[in-house]
Amino acid sequence: LICLRKFNDWLFTHDATPDKTLVQQFLVSLQTKGLSPYRVRNYWVALMSFYTWAEEQEYMPNNPMKGVKAPKLPKGTIEVYTDHEVDSILNMATNSSTETIITTFWKTGIRGSELLQIKNSDINMNTQTMHIHGKGSKDRTVPFDNNCAQLLDPLLSTNGTEYTFPTTLTQIRKSLKFYCENCGVDYRGPHCFRHTFACNYLKAGGSPLDLMYILGHSTLAMV
């Protein structure tokens, strides 16, 4: 919604109606303002989704996004969420199950598929650890901090189900994308929190060997 509003404002200042050339000029203007390639691509995704929908609903016979190629992203980079971005997302998701899910991703580095398999019995609040059923039947124990514990504690006693997070990856992605779009953060998916955790762990002086175990990797090369 923010992306669409900014494009509409840009069109208003240029006293123009949208077409392919103007869309391309708008994306270039975002780049010249210093927006990251990922942020510019998010604008392209938002515009493409909106105008494709408008065309399908016959509100706009001529789709201005036709022929507008997606901005290229840099290759070979590891995407992470900055601390400021995580704070912005969590501020938007306060008092929701999504807040607990995002914090768990951010503070433990577990995979989305692993989060969905966590049962209430897998979480030990005394030791602040959770038993993770990893890929290839490789189970491991992962620690979590006080912040994560404060969010998990009430959840364990109120969800009334065997599984701690009775949801789906599709719903998690949908909720995360909603919060990202509404607080101006580039949506990079829930798996990006795994990268973020790993980078923060190493920057804080954590051992790569310990990180290898926490992440469930089989070799240091993967770390």
Q: Is the pLDDT of residue 150 over 70?
A: yes
How many Å apart are CA 127 and CA 135, to the nearest integer? 24
pLDDT for 187 equals 92
Q: For residue 121, how many C-alpha atoms fall within 13 Å in the half-sphere facing its CB?
A: 3
pLDDT tens, position by position, 184-203: 999 999 999 999 999 999 98
Minimal CA–CA distance to 188: which of 176, 202, 197?
176
pLDDT for 219 equals 83
Classify 141 as helix, strand or coil: strand
160 or 168, which is more confident: 168
pLDDT for 171 equals 95
pLDDT for 13 equals 87
pLDDT for 76 equals 64
Burial of 52 (C-beta count, 10 Å sphere; 0-12/13-18/19+):
middle
Per the CB < 8 A criterion, the answer to whether 116 and 199 are in contact is no
Q: Any long-range contacts for 167-175 (C-beta under 8 Å, 24+ apart)?
A: 167/97, 167/101, 167/116, 168/116, 169/112, 169/113, 169/116, 172/98, 172/101, 172/112, 175/93, 175/96, 175/98, 175/101
pLDDT for 3 equals 84
Q: Is the pLDDT of residue 222 over 90?
A: no
Range name among 36-50, 52-66, 70-84, 130-144 with the lowest pLDDT average: 70-84
45 or 168, which is more confident: 168
- Measured in whole angstroms, the distance separating CA 186 from the mean position of its chain's CA atoms is 8
Q: Is the pLDDT of residue 136 over 90?
A: no
pLDDT for 157 equals 75
How many Å apart are CA 209 and CA 178, to the nearest integer? 36
pLDDT for 107 equals 96
pLDDT for 215 equals 93
Bridge partners of residue 123, in order along the sequence: 130
pLDDT tens, position by position, 31-69: 888 888 878 888 898 888 888 888 888 888 889 998 888
How many Å apart are CA 143 and CA 128, to the nearest integer? 6
